[in-house]
Amino acid sequence: MLTPGDPAPDFDLQGTADDGVGAYRLSAATSHAPAVVAFVPGDDAESRSLLTELAETDWASVSDAVAVFGVLPAGIDDCRSLAAALSLPYPLLSDTHGVATQFGVRKHDGSVQRAAFVVDQQCRVRVATAVGDSGETAPDLDTIRRGLAEL
């Protein structure tokens, strides 16, 4: 998994945009503001919980501006369905290009680890947190909020 100080792999992914589909590039987003990039393995209860917590976070209380992306290893139709079901105010990106692997959150069995990263305006990882083997079900978003506040 990428660690603080590592360059964040740039990506161009399709994602949800209001009622349609848009194209998203990490470097374009971070040229204006830091970004939170959260990976989820699928449409399961723990992933839904993390995506909802990201949606309910008051990012303005932590940073003047921040881009938030959820990343799902699924096609765009599945992303649109899940984003609509959860009423996500941020894009849910379709990772059919192996971005999870580039961020180091794809497990040996091919599944994706729940993880979240803060990427700064120079496209470097500033914070990385993931679900480990100690029983937690979501990355530590307090760590993400503190990392954003320090930028």
DSSP string, 67-134: EEEEEESS-HHHHHHHHHHHT-SS-EEE--S-HHHHHT-B-TTS-B--EEEEE-TTSBEEEEEE--SS
What does the pLDDT look like over 21-65, one tens digit per residue? 999 999 999 999 999 999 999 999 999 999 999 999 999 999 899
Q: What 3-state DSSP class applies to 30? A: helix
Selection from 70, 112, 113 nearest residue 93 by Cα = 70
Instruction: Please state the rounded mean pLDDT for residues 87-105.
Output: 97
Selection from 27, 13, 26 nearest residue 96 by Cα = 13
pLDDT band (50, 70, 90) for residue 132: low
Instruction: Please state the rounded mean pLDDT for residues 119-130.
Output: 96
Q: What percent of the chain has pLDDT over 90?
A: 88
Longest dimension (CA), the chain: 39
For residue 134, the model assigns a pLDDT of 55
Structure token pair of residue 84: 């609509």
Q: Which domains does the chain have, with CATH numbers?
A: 12-149 (3.40.30.10)
Cα–Cα distance, 123 to 39 (Å, whole number) = 17
Give yes or no for a contact between 53 and 44, defined as CB atoms under 8 angstroms apart: no
Judged against a pLDDT cut of 70, whether residue 133 lies above it is answered with no
Whole-prediction pTM value? 0.95
Instruction: Please state the rounded mean pLDDT for residues 80-100.
Output: 96
- Which whole-number Å values give the CA distances from 106 to 1, 99, 101, 117, 130, in the listed order? 9, 9, 5, 14, 11
Q: Phi and psi at residue 53, in whole multiples of 5°?
A: -60, -40
Cα–Cα distance, 9 to 66 (Å, whole number) = 18
Instruction: Please state the rounded mean pLDDT for residues 91-107.
Output: 96
Judged against a pLDDT cut of 90, whether residue 16 lies above it is answered with yes
